[in-house]
Amino acid sequence: MQQSHGIGYVEYSNKLQKRIKVEKEREESYEKSLKVVDEVNRVLHR
């Protein structure tokens, strides 16, 4: 948590705004990874 988002678990669990920010970043990262996988699959399966 500290390394990837710059905050510790205690701060994450105690501050709602920080938790929302981290979860939004996680969601964006997940969406980006899905796009990368789709692109790789598209290129591989021509």
Q: Is the pLDDT of residue 29 over 90?
A: yes
Q: Which two tokens stand for residue 9?
A: 């678990």
Residue-wise pLDDT tens digits, 34-43: 999 999 999 9
Domain with 37, as residue range(s), is: 2-44
- The total number of structural domains in the chain stands at 1
Longest alpha-carbon distance in the chain:
49
pLDDT tier, 44 (very low <50, low <70, confident <90, very high otherwise):
very high
The Cβ of residue 18 has, within 10 Å, a number of other Cβ atoms equal to 15
**What pTM does this model have?**
0.75
